[in-house]
């Protein structure tokens, strides 16, 4: 059977769970434990990607460049990855990240906007970096549209293209349909990144492999905002039980979560990922978890149910940057319900 290439995002996507406040020593300790467990690619940095530290997305304790330099100093086998969202991260930032030790970049765009990744993917390839096209919010587009966008990333030089379930909205059958369609029509490998809002992240990842994906993501203890990501430990165990090979040692990855990450999280009083009604409704509606706080404030202001606001936003296919819709949606719901 095909061997899975495992990417762990504890130190990037998981950064949301600690408000981007990992210390350099914490980053180094977790990264080293991931490498010792055999993880192929370790993604690090601000939760919103390279140079995401800002008033809009939350300030990190350290710059991404400080994190990269620190983590690069302890890795000898695993590849060090960064996420770059065009418009937040620039090519000059990627050049600096490469100089400090990053060897992989995942260039992330909304699922229908791959064209904005062209200059970044081409620049990354020119720098000699392993380059991933990362199509976010994949539940929002048909398999035909995803293929069209994936072909753009492939044409720009991407080594892998990801079908990314950013809000944990996809179910296994949808994952299989979309990834198998891409597998049949692309020349580059396919990857999958799941969130656990509907409790099916591991199942989705297994289905992605069945459909032809060779790259799968996880994070220790599922560390990430809300319900979190696919737990790397659970995914490793499920793949092993299914007879699917990885380079990850099951006992060592369990220990990385229990003995390295968990004490860090508990010492700072942060919560481990868990199911709650907020994460469930985010996954059900298919919107970003960042909408929830704004929706709750609008709920109090207009006297309407937060869940109705979130679901209405999902129906409007709202994406990051369209938070201004939340007030409009809440106002319209209040009018419809006779509360204004």
d(Cα 313, Cα 158) in Å, to the nearest integer?
A: 32
d(Cα 254, Cα 34) in Å, to the nearest integer?
A: 10
| 220 neighbors 8 (Cβ within 8 angstroms) | yes
Per-residue pLDDT, 124: 98
Per-residue pLDDT, 224: 84
Angle formed by the axes of helices 306-315 and 291-302, nearest 10°? 120
DSSP code at position 23:
-
Per-residue pLDDT, 296: 95
Q: Which domains does the chain have, with CATH numbers?
A: 5-267 (3.20.20.70), 290-336 (1.10.8.60)
Per-residue pLDDT, 122: 98
d(Cα 51, Cα 214) in Å, to the nearest integer?
A: 29
Is the pTM here over 0.85, yes or no?
A: yes
Residues designated as active site = 16
Q: Going by C-beta distance under 8 Å and a sequence separation of 6 or more, which residues neighbour residue 300? A: none
| 47 neighbors 80 (Cβ within 8 angstroms) | no
Half-sphere exposure of 151 (CA within 13 A, CB side): 11
Residues 50-95: pLDDT tens digits? 998 887 778 989 999 999 999 999 999 999 999 999 999 999 999 9
Per-residue pLDDT, 288: 87
Per-residue pLDDT, 276: 86
H/E element holding 146? helix 143-156
Q: Which residues of the chain have pLDDT under 50?
A: none
3-state class percentages of the chain: helix first, strand second, coil last, to nearest 5: 50, 15, 35
- Of 288, 290, 292, nearest to 309 by C-alpha is 292
d(Cα 57, Cα 163) in Å, to the nearest integer?
A: 24
């Amino acid at each position: 059977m095909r061997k899975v290439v495992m990417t762990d995002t504890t130190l990037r996507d998981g950064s949301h769970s600690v408000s981007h406040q990992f210390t350099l020593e914490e980053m180094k300790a977790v990264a080293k434990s991931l490498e010792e467990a055999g993880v192929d690619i370790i993604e690090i940095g601000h939760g919103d990607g390279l140079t995401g530290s800002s008033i809009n997305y939350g300030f990190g304790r350290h710059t991404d460049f400080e994190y990269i330099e620190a983590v690069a100093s302890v890795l000898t086998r695993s590849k060090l990855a960064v996420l770059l969202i065009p418009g937040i991260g620039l090519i000059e930032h990627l050049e600096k990240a490469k100089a400090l030790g990053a060897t992989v970049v995942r260039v992330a765009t909304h699922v229908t906007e791959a064209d904005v990744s062209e200059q970044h993917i081409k620049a990354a390839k020119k720098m000699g970096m392993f380059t991933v096209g990362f199509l976010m919010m994949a539940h929002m587009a048909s398999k035909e549209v995803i293929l069209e966008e994936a072909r753009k990333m492939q044409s720009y030089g991407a080594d892998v293209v990801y079908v990314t379930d950013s809000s944990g909205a996809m179910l296994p059958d949808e994952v299989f349909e979309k990834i198998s369609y891409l597998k049949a029509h692309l020349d580059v490998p396919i990857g999958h990144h799941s969130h656990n809002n509907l409790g099916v992240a591991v199942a989705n990842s297994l289905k992605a492999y069945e459909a032809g994906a060779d790259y799968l993501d996880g994070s220790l203890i599922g560390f990430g905002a809300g319900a979190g990501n696919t737990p790397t430990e659970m995914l490793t165990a499920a793949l092993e039980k299914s007879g699917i090979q990885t380079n990850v040692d099951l006992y060592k990855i369990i220990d990385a979560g229990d003995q390295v990450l968990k004490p860090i999280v508990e010492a700072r009083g942060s919560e481990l990922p868990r199911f709650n009604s907020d994460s469930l409704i985010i996954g059900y509606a298919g919107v970003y978890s960042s909408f929830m706080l704004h929706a709750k404030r609008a709920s109090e202001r207009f006297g309407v149910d937060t869940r109705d606001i979130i679901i209405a936003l999902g129906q409007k296919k709202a994406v990051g940057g369209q938070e201004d819709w939340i007030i409009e949606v809440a106002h319209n719901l209040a009018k419809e319900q006779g509360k204004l």
